[in-house]
Every structure is written in structure tokens, then in C-alpha cells.
């Protein structure tokens, strides 16, 4: 990878994000997994010259993990800011990736930060921090059916400027794959066409679409010398499903390109 | 005796003239589950199925022996219409099995590339060319097929005149697709080109079915048609339901010629009334194999309720539910009478042998959910220290000494989730899915495996089925309720599930909502297993049914219940987003996979959260 912050815009997302940042508004990004959400936020952080604090959310995440906790050393206890508190205090983008994975009570701490108040009360220390002007809250999630039970509460959603991402257009995806993996254009083109074929199987034969990320992985494996068919089989067929018949069908598809 | 001799002669002679290689035979049924995703991935319409084509008669120049033996008179060629792709039920053209397989994949790719044919000779070449250009791997298999097929085509040395010119053109078109603009004229049909798609036959016996199942004097004809099962025969469904008044009608249209010189032999008899089924058989024209609505028409006629002694036991007096009338924008209070039914005569039964293995696997896999643990923090008792709580104790200026909550404890199954499965048991589930199964059979297996999986998971669950006959008869079949443990008694009831009547979905959902509300879990999931739009024989159809269902779903959501719909209706994408939201449903196009998909879907939906 040449530059880990390289980002190829899909649409007017850069402009929207800049406006939100100027107006101190929080941003919600939705889109399928591996379509470039994280990359975009990292890119914007660099562009706006703000530090970024990324939290990958999971179901064991607590508000403490975001806000901070007391720790101990030889002198006794001391307070350690969590990533959210640091972003609020020092200024920077706090990016909560896959936010629906977090338990509901966790997101409640976000409320006073995501409206006009822009404050973070810390119960443990009795402190109430007013957000730094460069503080920005960004959250992302995948709205696929796997997450319908989780979802975001409307009261949370309505505090955000929202953008919807999808996989890049074929032309852009070819460029991205070439850039990220250094594979030749012809191979990238084939992978993108194959990826498009596989995406048509979503909702019928596959639960998940082939992401840009997984196509890049495939390209990297090919670039480093693995036989393209084997790379596709390992990264795509086997990754996307456990159904032997669907795997067989995907192997057939791979064979018509490589 | 005479018959025996005849049969022997037939066998002998068929063997001699057969140009097929039975050792390398590949059956469509064995490959279909790969061909279908392959087709969809290449851009084929997701709703189309791939099925066996019946033999079509071609005017072939047959060798004498072949003519006597009768083989080759009918040839299996590939074609498609809006509903399905028809491929030969088996391929044994080549001595090499891999080539016979490759031919299936080739034809499937071609079908995705060439959804409609305008000019048979040119379109096939162009579609081939496009595929070869964009899919290098497919190109090599195509040229291998061409190399193998050319020797099987008529020998150019033995042809002359216009037939020679025509055959040369065809062979050239196969070798260098796109290079021949016209098919030279010659008498008779050219030998079938197995690498190409043929146009759909223009004429055939037309069988029309409509959702409106209104009258009955076609009953006989329809039943006859239904007897002729098996591979898909040529038929055409007319779309004009007005013209036929929504009845099932056989119409014999004048049989003409196909474009591109492929002629269907004219039928001997034109009188369909006499014996429609026989006529259809003679013509190689039958349909109804998958037209579920059409099949359900039959059931309409014996739709009077089962005699009480044969019916499930009605439990209690029934229960009144409202219904939403969108035209008046008002709730009709107590409009529906829902009747809980219990199959009291269903004997307790174990998991059938054929499902045992899967059931065990599912139970094991799902029991992992049961052991999912969470740490409960700040407990007064527990297995480990809760450091956060300890440190807080030390650092907190206004400490309350009496709170001794320094421990973390593991809790079992914190999923805190209950699920109700509501299965649509309308009569459309009585239709045939394939040669061995009806839709209801697959639904039954699906419900059973779902129950096995959930019993492993330990999540509280209930299973109900529903069907209706107007608003006063909404039957709510109890298969397993929340409070009873899952046992052979419940299995017996599930295994006894049978098709019911119509689909008053709103009432089914409202009743399920009430049942789910008795559960005190944090999350409550209502899974609806559906096979089509809401409808009943009264005004409950079209928009009315959809609006009422939507209302019922919104009410459920407001009460903190998460509905999710799994449908086997290919057309589901049209109306389900309106009912359940974009991500609130899943369409399962390959029904036979439903039994394994349903538990998986549950896992995905309820995840680890
Ligand atoms: N527009 C883009 N420009 C550059 N790289 C991209 C773009 N979209 C996706 N990628 C690549 O795809 C990978 C996965 O994207 P990521 O942002 O991690 O996905 P997500 O956060 O949506 O799951 C990235 O590592 C990057 O290599
Ligand atoms: Mg990400």
C-alpha cells in the first residue's frame, strides 16, 4: 500500500463532511462492510488536520471504555481519559465504528455531545467538559438486515448529518484495487467484474456482498504470486459462504474469468 | 407377447442409433443448484428458475434407422421465456463428462447474456462473441465445446446444394461467432445447434390462472392437466385475465411456425374439449409445474371446511381482533374472529430419520448461544474482582462504605430474547415444488429444524401457523407455545401441519403480537414465514390486505416487537419493503434451502449482542 490515507471520492461526500465539520455537527455514515467508510473518515481527519480517535464498537463496550476510568499506580489512583474524552478535550474526530454493536446504554453518553450543548459530563469525576471547537463525533454502521434487531434509536439518529455509502462504481473500484494492491489493471478489472457478479447474488445465495476490501485482499494475494484461481477461491468463494453448492457455483464463475 | 417383442426391438434399435454417451451423462437436476446462482451472478433475472426442457420436434433429416427407432425425432434444445430457462434434462452428447457439464454452464451463461431473441442466427453469435470477449475462461471452454461438437454435425462431404451452404454457414458461425450475417435458406430444419439458445415456442396450449379463484367448471380440465407432471412442457400463459375471466382455460391456438425455420409439427387433433390432457400430452405441451396459484385453484373446490371430526380442535370461543380499513381510514373494532386451533389428534413424534443429522447439528451449534456469557459488573458476589469498582472505591471522595460491590460474576445466556415464528399455512402451500415435494413439505421441515435449533439455543420460542376464510374464520394453529417445553408432542404437531385456506395476515400478526407481549424479555422477535401477499376471499386483497398488514406491523413495532419476514415469493421485493422496510425481510429464491437458511437467518438476526 502506497499511502494508507489515499481516498478516492465516490461522490460529494468530502464536501458534505467539510460542511458538517465547519458547523460542528456530528456525522453518521451507513453502508455495507468494507466499502470505504473507515478509510473515508481517516482521510477526512488528515484533510482537516485533526487527530482521530477510533473505537471499534462491540457488545462488551461500556460507557467507561469511551469516557475513561480510574487507574492505579504506586502513588494511588488517577483518572485516565477514554478516547471520547480525549477527542472532546484535545479536539479531534472521535470515530465510533459499527456503533450498533455497542449496547444501547453506551450511546446515551453521546447525546449531550451531539446537540447544541456539546458537553461531556463525567459522572465519576464530577467534571463537565465543554467540547473543543475541533471536536467532531462520527459514527458508522451497516444497515443490513443482520442489524435490524440492533438498529439505532430514532432519538439518537436524529442528531446526525447522515450519509449513505455503497461500493464504489466499477471504474473507481478498479483504480482503488490497483492502488491498494499494485496489481495490474487487467486483473483488477476482472476482479471488479467478478465482484459485481457476486454482488448480484446478495439476497439470494449469499448473505454478504463481496466487499471492496475482500477484492483488495484477493488482488494482494494474486500480486504476491498466488495463482489467481486459488486466490479467488480462498478470498471470495470460501469467505462469502459455507454452502457447498454456492461455493461450487462461485468456483465456476471464477473459472470464467481466470 | 407381441408387446414384449416390440419392446425388445425398440431397445435394440435405440441402442444402435444412439449417438449419446450414457457413461458421461450429466443430469440437470444434479447441477441445478450450481447453475442457478451462476445464472443470477451473470445478470440473469433473479426470479427465473432453471428447469428441464421437454423435447421439441425438429424437422431433421433422420437416418432411416433413427426414424424407425424414434429417437432423435425429438431433440432437447435450450430456450427460455420470462419465467424460466429451459435446459435439456440431461446431457450425454460428448464422451467426456466435463464437456457435458461445460455445456450446461455455457448455455446458462448464454441465457443470462441473451434474455430475448429477436434474430436467432445473429443474436446467438453476438451474445457468444460478447461472452468470449468479457470472460476469457469461458472462451476456452467454448472453443473446446465447438471442437467437440463439429464432428457430430452433418458431414459436409455428404451434403450438397443449399443444405451444404447452410451447414457451412452454421459451422462457420460456431467457429468464428459474429462472422456470418445470414442463415442461408434450405429445406427442412438444420441440425440442432446444442451450443445455442432457441426462441421460445410462440404457440401452445395456453393455461391461464389467476389469483381470483372464482368458478369451478374448469375443474376437470385442470385436474387432468395436473396429472401430467414432470419436465416443463411448452405452454404459454396468457396474461389477459379479463379475457378468460380468471378461469383456468385451455386454449389451443393455431400452431404456426417459429421464426428461423424451426417448425413445430401440426397437431393431429384440434378438439381440446374432448380430452384436453391427452391433447396436451400429444403436443408436448403442459404446464402448471410451478405455477402455484394455478395449482391452488384446484383446492378451491374442496375447500369446504373439514368435517369437525377431521379437523383440528378449536380451543375456546375465539378471540376478536380489529382490522384496518384504509379506505375509511379507520379501525374496524372486533372485526375478525381468530380461532386458536390445536391438532389434538397429532401423535407425539420424534424427528424423522432424514432430518436427524441436521437437527442434531443445529441443536449443538445453537447450544453455543446458551453458553454465551456476559460479565455482570459491580456484584456483591462473584468469581473475580471488578477492578473498576475497587479503584472507584479508593478514589471516590464521597464514598459510601456500605456498598461492597467489588465483584464480577458470569451470567449464563444473557440473550434476553424471545421469538415467535408465524407460518403462513395458506392453501398455496399445497402446490408442487418439484417432483417429490410440495411447498408445505419444505415449510414443515423448516419449522421443525427451526424449533430444533432454538431448543438448543435456549431462547424462549413459540410457533404458530395461520390461515383464514374471511374475517370470521381466522385459524391460528398452535404448534408450540411459549410455556410448554419443546418435546415430541410439539414435534408431532409440527409434522402434522397441513395447508389451510387464505392469508389474512393482519389478523395473524395482531394475534402474534398479543402472544409475544406476554413475554417479558428485553427483545421480542416475530418471524413471519410467508409465501405470498396477504389475501382472503372477501375484500381482503390487493391494497386493502397490504394496508391492514402494514398497520398490524406498525402496531407490533410500537409495542417493542421486531417483525421480520422471510418469504418464498419471488415477487416479494415489490411489496415487502412497504410492509417491513428495506431490511426487514428476506426473499428465499431456492425454497429447498429454506430449512437450513431459517436457523442461519435467526442467528444473523439475533447475533451476539
Ligand atoms: N474510496 C476509496 N478509496 C481508497 N480506498 C478505498 C476506498 N474505498 C475502499 N477502499 C479500500 O477498501 C478497504 C476497506 O475499506 P474500509 O474503509 O475499511 O471499509 P468499511 O469501514 O466501510 O468497512 C480500505 O482499506 C481501502 O483499502
Ligand atoms: Mg470499517
Residue B371 has what pLDDT? 65
Does A101 touch chain B if contact means CB atoms closer than 8 Å?
Answer: yes
Average pLDDT of every residue of chain A = 91
Residue B293 has what pLDDT? 32
Residue A207 CA to residue A202 CA, distance in Å, equals 6
Contact at CB, B607 and A256, closer than 8 angstroms: no
Yes or no: say if B240 and B213 are a contact pair by the CB < 8 Å rule.
no
Q: For A196-217, how does the pLDDT look when each residue is reduced to its tens digit (9 = 90+)?
A: 999 988 767 777 889 999 999 9
Instruction: Determine which residue's CA is closest to atom 7 belonging to ligand 1.
Output: A36
Relative to the alpha carbon of A215, which ligand is closest?
A: 1
Contact at CB, A197 and B43, closer than 8 angstroms: yes
CA A199–ligand 2 middle distance (angstroms):
19
Across the range A115-126, mean pLDDT stands at 89
B582 to chain A, closest Cα gap in Å = 8
Yes or no: say if B490 and B451 are a contact pair by the CB < 8 Å rule.
yes
Closest CA relative to residue A55, chosen from A66, A44, A46: A66
Contact at CB, B40 and A201, closer than 8 angstroms: yes
Across the range A237-253, mean pLDDT stands at 91
User: Which DSSP state fits B255?
Assistant: P
**Residue with cell string 393455431:** B254
CA A209–ligand 2 middle distance (angstroms):
15
Q: Exposure of A177 by Cβ count < 10 A (0-12 exposed, 13-18 middle, 19+ buried)?
A: buried
Residue A100 has what pLDDT? 87
Q: For B437-473, how does the pLDDT look when each residue is reduced to its tens digit (9 = 90+)?
A: 899 999 999 999 999 999 988 889 999 999 999 998 8
Would the pLDDT of B303 be above 70? no
B238 — phi, psi (to 5°)? -80, 145
Cα torsion angle, B499, B503, B507, B508, sign:
positive
Q: Which atom of ligand 1 has the smallest separation from the CA of A165?
A: 22
- Residues flanking ligand 1, CB < 6 Å: A 6-8, 10, 31, 33-39, 168, 176, 180, 212-213, 216
Residue B61 CA to residue B539 CA, distance in Å, equals 58
Across the range B301-321, mean pLDDT stands at 65
Instruction: Mention the CATH class of domain B323-365+416-605.
Output: alpha beta
Would the pLDDT of B270 be above 70? no
Q: What's the CA angle centered on B409, arms B405 and B411, to 5 degrees?
A: 135
Cβ-based contacts of A70 with chain B (< 8 Å): 388, 391-392, 394-395
* Domain boundaries, given as residue ranges, for chain B: 2-198, 207-265+275-303, 323-365+416-605, 371-414
Q: Are strands A93-97 and A52-56 parallel, antiparallel or unpaired?
A: parallel
Residue A198 has what pLDDT? 95
- For chain B, the C-alpha Rg in angstroms (whole number) is 30
Residue B557 CA to residue B517 CA, distance in Å, equals 11
Residue of B33, B36, B41, B593 best to disrupt the A interface, most CBs of A under 10 A: B41
Across the range B516-541, mean pLDDT stands at 91
Residue B302 CA to residue B281 CA, distance in Å, equals 26
- Among chain B residues, the shortest Cα distance to A78 is held by B395
C-alpha distances (whole Å) from B176 to each of A257, B129, B170 are 20, 9, 10
Q: Cell digits for B293?
A: 396459484
Task: Tell me, letter by letter, the H, E, C secondary structure of B397-437.
Answer: CCCCCCCCCCEEEEEECCCCEEEEEEEECCHHHHCECCCCC
Would the pLDDT of B275 be above 50? no
Would the pLDDT of A128 be above 60? yes
Contact at CB, B562 and A149, closer than 8 angstroms: yes
How does residue B426 score in pLDDT terms, banded at 50, 70 and 90? very high
Residue B437 CA to residue B300 CA, distance in Å, equals 20
Q: Are strands B561-567 and B523-530 parallel, antiparallel or unpaired?
A: parallel
Cβ-based contacts of B141 with chain A (< 8 Å): 255-256
A230 — phi, psi (to 5°)? -70, -40
Cβ-based contacts of A143 with chain B (< 8 Å): 582-583
How does residue B307 score in pLDDT terms, banded at 50, 70 and 90? low
Q: DSSP letter string over A158-190?
A: TTSEEEE--PPPHHHHHHHHHHHH---HHHHHH
Yes or no: say if B416 and B523 are a contact pair by the CB < 8 Å rule.
yes
Residue A29 CA to residue B263 CA, distance in Å, equals 59
Residue of B29, B38, B102 best to disrupt the A interface, most CBs of A under 10 A: B38
Cβ-based contacts of B33 with chain A (< 8 Å): 245, 249
Q: DSSP letter string over B181-214?
A: ------SSPPPP-TTSEEPPPS--EEE---S---
pTM for the model: 0.70
Contact at CB, B37 and A249, closer than 8 angstroms: yes
Our mutation pick for probing the ligand 1 site, out of A7, A39, A140, counting the most ligand atoms within 8 A of Cβ, is A39
Does B241 touch chain A if contact means CB atoms closer than 8 Å?
Answer: no
- Among chain A residues, the shortest Cα distance to B570 is held by A204
A42 to chain B, closest Cα gap in Å = 27
The kind and range of the H/E element at B565 are strand B561-567
Our mutation pick for probing the ligand 1 site, out of A5, A29, A34, A172, counting the most ligand atoms within 8 A of Cβ, is A34
Contact at CB, B136 and A101, closer than 8 angstroms: no
C-alpha distances (whole Å) from B11 to each of B16, B73, B199 are 9, 16, 33
Instruction: Determine which residue's CA is closest to atom 17 belonging to ligand 1.
Output: A36
Q: How would you label B383-414 residue by residue, b for 16+ Cβ within 10 Å and e otherwise?
A: eeebebbbbbbebeeeeeeeeebbbbbeeeee
Q: Which atom of ligand 1 has the smallest separation from the CA of A39?
A: 17
- Among chain B residues, the shortest Cα distance to A69 is held by B388
Does B373 touch chain A if contact means CB atoms closer than 8 Å?
Answer: no
Yes or no: say if A229 and A255 are a contact pair by the CB < 8 Å rule.
yes
Contact at CB, B587 and A149, closer than 8 angstroms: no
Residue B507 CA to residue B113 CA, distance in Å, equals 44
User: Which DSSP state fits B321?
Assistant: E
Please report the residues numbered 499 through 538 in chain B whose beta carbons come closer than 8 angstroms to any beta carbon of chain A: 523, 525
Would the pLDDT of B214 be above 60? no
Q: Exposure of B43 by Cβ count < 10 A (0-12 exposed, 13-18 middle, 19+ buried)?
A: middle
Residue B587 CA to residue B46 CA, distance in Å, equals 11
Q: How far apart are the first and last CA of chain B?
A: 74
- Residue B455 CB-half CA count within 13 A: 21
How many other C-beta atoms are found inside a 10 Å radius of the C-beta of residue B86?
Answer: 29
The kind and range of the H/E element at B463 are strand B461-468
Residue A41 CA to residue A48 CA, distance in Å, equals 10
CATH homologous superfamily of A4-164 equals P-loop containing nucleotide triphosphate hydrolases (3.40.50.300)
Q: For B322-370, how does the pLDDT look when each residue is reduced to its tens digit (9 = 90+)?
A: 999 988 889 999 999 998 888 888 889 999 999 998 899 888 888 877 6
Does A70 touch chain B if contact means CB atoms closer than 8 Å?
Answer: yes
Contact at CB, B605 and A149, closer than 8 angstroms: yes
Residue B231 CA to residue B300 CA, distance in Å, equals 25
Min mean pLDDT across A73-82, B292-301, B584-593 is at B292-301
The kind and range of the H/E element at B526 are strand B523-530
Yes or no: say if B540 and B336 are a contact pair by the CB < 8 Å rule.
no
Yes or no: say if B34 and B167 are a contact pair by the CB < 8 Å rule.
no
Q: For B115-172, how does the pLDDT look when each residue is reduced to its tens digit (9 = 90+)?
A: 988 899 999 999 999 999 999 999 999 999 999 999 999 999 999 899 999 999 999 9
Amino acid at each position: 500500500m502506497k499511502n494508507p490515507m489515499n481516498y478516492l471520492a465516490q461522490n460529494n461526500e468530502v464536501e458534505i463532511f467539510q460542511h458538517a465539520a465547519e458547523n460542528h455537527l456530528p456525522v453518521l455514515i451507513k453502508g455495507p462492510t468494507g466499502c470505504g467508510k473507515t478509510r473515508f473518515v481517516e482521510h477526512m481527519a488528515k484533510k482537516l488536520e485533526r487527530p482521530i480517535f477510533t473505537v471499534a464498537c462491540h457488545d462488551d463496550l461500556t460507557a467507561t471504555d469511551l469516557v475513561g476510568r480510574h487507574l492505579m499506580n504506586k502513588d494511588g489512583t488517577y483518572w485516565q481519559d477514554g478516547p471520547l474524552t480525549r477527542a472532546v478535550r484535545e479536539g479531534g474526530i472521535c470515530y465510533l465504528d459499527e456503533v450498533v454493536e455497542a449496547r444501547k446504554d453506551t450511546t446515551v453518553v453521546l447525546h449531550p455531545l451531539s446537540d447544541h450543548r456539546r458537553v461531556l459530563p463525567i459522572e465519576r469525576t464530577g467534571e463537565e467538559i465543554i467540547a473543543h471547537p475541533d471536536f467532531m463525533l462520527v459514527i458508522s454502521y451497516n444497515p443490513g438486515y443482520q442489524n435490524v434487531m440492533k438498529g439505532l434509536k430514532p432519538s439518537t439518529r436524529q442528531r446526525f448529518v447522515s450519509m449513505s455509502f455503497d461500493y464504489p462504481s466499477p471504474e473507481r473500484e478498479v483504480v482503488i484495487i490497483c492502488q491498494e494492491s499494485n496489481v495490474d489493471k487487467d486483473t483488477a478489472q476482472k476482479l471488479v467484474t467478478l465482484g459485481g457478479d457476486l454482488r448480484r447474488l446478495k439476497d439470494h445465495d449469499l448473505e454478504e456482498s463481496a466487499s471492496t476490501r475482500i477484492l483488495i485482499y484477493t488482488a494482494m494475494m494474486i500480486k504476491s504470486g498466488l495463482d489467481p484461481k486459488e486466490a479467488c477461491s480462498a478470498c471470495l468463494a470460501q469467505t462469502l459462504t459455507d454452502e457447498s453448492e454456492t461455493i461450487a457455483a462461485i468456483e465456476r464463475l471464477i473459472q470464467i474469468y481466470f | 407377447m407381441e408387446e414384449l417383442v416390440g419392446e425388445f426391438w425398440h431397445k435394440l434399435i435405440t441402442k444402435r442409433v444412439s449417438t449419446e454417451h450414457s457413461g458421461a451423462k450429466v443430469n440437470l437436476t444434479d447441477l441445478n443448484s450450481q447453475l442457478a446462482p451462476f445464472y443470477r451472478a451473470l445478470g440473469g433475472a433473479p426470479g427465473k428458475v432453471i428447469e428441464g426442457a421437454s423435447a421439441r420436434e425438429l424437422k431433421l433429416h433422420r437416418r432411416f434407422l433413427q426414424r424407425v427407432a424414434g429417437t432423435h425425432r425429438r431433440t432437447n434444445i435450450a430456450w427460455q421465456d420470462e419465467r424460466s430457462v429451459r435446459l435439456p434434462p440431461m446431457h450425454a452428447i460428448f464422451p467426456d463428462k466435463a464437456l457435458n457439464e461445460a455445456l450446461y454452464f455455457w448455455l446458462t451463461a448464454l441465457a443470462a447474456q441473451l434474455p430475448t431473441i429477436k434474430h436467432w442466427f445473429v443474436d446467438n453469435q453476438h451474445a457468444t462473441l460478447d461472452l468470449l470477449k468479457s470472460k476469457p475462461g469461458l472462451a476456452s471452454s467454448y472453443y473446446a465445446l465447438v471442437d467437440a461438437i463439429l464432428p457430430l454435425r452433418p458431414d459436409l462431404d455428404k451434403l450438397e446444394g443449399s443444405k451444404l451452404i447452410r451447414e457451412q454457414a452454421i459451422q462457420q458461425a460456431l467457429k468464428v461467432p459474429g462472422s456470418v450475417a445470414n442463415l442461408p435458406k434450405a429445406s427442412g430444419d438444420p441440425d440442432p445447434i446444442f451450443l445455442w439458445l432457441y426462441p421460445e415456442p410462440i404457440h401452445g396450449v395456453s393455461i391461464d390462472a389467476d389469483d381470483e379463484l372464482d368458478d369451478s367448471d374448469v375443474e376437470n380440465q385442470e385436474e387432468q392437466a395436473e396429472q401430467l407432471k414432470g419436465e416443463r412442457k411448452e405452454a404459454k400463459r396468457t396474461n389477459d385475465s379479463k379475457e378468460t375471466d380468471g378461469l383456468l382455460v385451455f386454449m389451443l391456438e393455431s400452431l404456426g411456425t417459429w421464426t428461423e425455420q424451426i417448425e413445430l409439427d401440426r397437431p393431429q387433433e384440434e378438439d381440446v374439449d374432448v380430452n384436453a390432457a391427452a391433447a396436451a400430452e400429444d403436443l408436448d405441451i403442459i404446464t402448471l409445474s410451478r405455477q402455484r396459484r394455478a395449482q391452488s385453484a384446484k383446492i378451491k373446490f374442496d375447500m369446504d371446511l373439514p368435517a369437525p371430526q377431521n379437523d383440528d380442535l378449536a380451543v375456546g370461543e375465539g378471540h376478536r381482533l380489529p382490522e384496518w380499513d384504509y379506505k375509511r381510514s379507520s379501525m374496524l373494532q372486533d372485526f375478525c374472529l381468530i380461532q386458536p386451533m390445536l391438532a389434538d389428534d397429532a401423535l407425539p413424534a420424534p424427528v424423522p430419520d432424514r432430518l436427524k443429522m441436521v437437527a442434531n447439528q443445529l441443536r449443538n451449534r445453537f447450544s453455543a448461544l446458551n453458553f454465551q456469557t456476559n460479565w455482570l459488573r459491580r456484584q456483591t458476589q462473584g468469581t473475580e474482582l471488578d477492578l473498576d469498582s475497587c479503584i472507584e472505591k479508593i478514589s471516590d471522595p464521597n464514598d459510601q462504605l456500605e456498598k461492597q460491590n467489588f465483584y464480577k460474576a458470569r451470567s449464563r445466556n444473557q440473550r434476553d430474547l424471545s421469538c415467535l415464528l408465524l407460518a403462513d399455512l395458506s392453501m398455496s402451500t399445497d402446490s408442487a415444488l418439484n417432483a417429490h415435494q410440495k411447498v408445505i413439505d419444505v415449510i414443515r421441515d423448516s419449522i421443525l429444524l427451526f424449533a430444533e435449533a432454538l431448543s438448543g439455543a435456549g431462547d424462549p420460542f413459540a410457533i404458530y401457523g395461520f390461515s383464514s376464510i374471511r374475517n370470521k374464520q381466522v385459524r391460528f394453529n398452535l404448534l408450540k407455545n411459549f410455556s410448554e417445553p419443546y418435546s415430541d408432542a410439539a414435534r408431532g404437531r409440527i409434522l402434522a401441519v397441513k395447508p389451510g385456506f387464505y392469508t389474512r395476515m393482519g389478523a395473524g400478526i395482531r394475534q402474534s403480537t398479543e402472544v409475544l407481549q406476554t413475554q417479558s424479555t428485553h427483545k421480542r422477535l416475530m418471524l413471519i414465514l410467508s409465501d405470498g401477499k396477504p389475501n382472503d376471499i372477501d375484500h381482503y386483497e390487493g391494497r386493502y390486505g397490504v394496508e391492514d398488514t402494514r398497520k398490524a406491523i406498525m402496531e407490533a413495532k410500537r409495542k417493542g416487537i421486531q417483525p421480520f419476514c422471510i418469504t418464498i415469493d419471488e415477487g416479494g421485493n415489490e411489496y415487502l419493503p412497504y410492509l417491513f422496510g428495506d431490511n426487514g425481510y428476506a426473499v428465499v429464491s431456492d425454497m429447498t434451502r429454506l430449512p437450513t437458511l431459517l436457523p442461519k437467518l435467526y442467528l444473523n438476526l439475533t447475533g451476539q449482542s
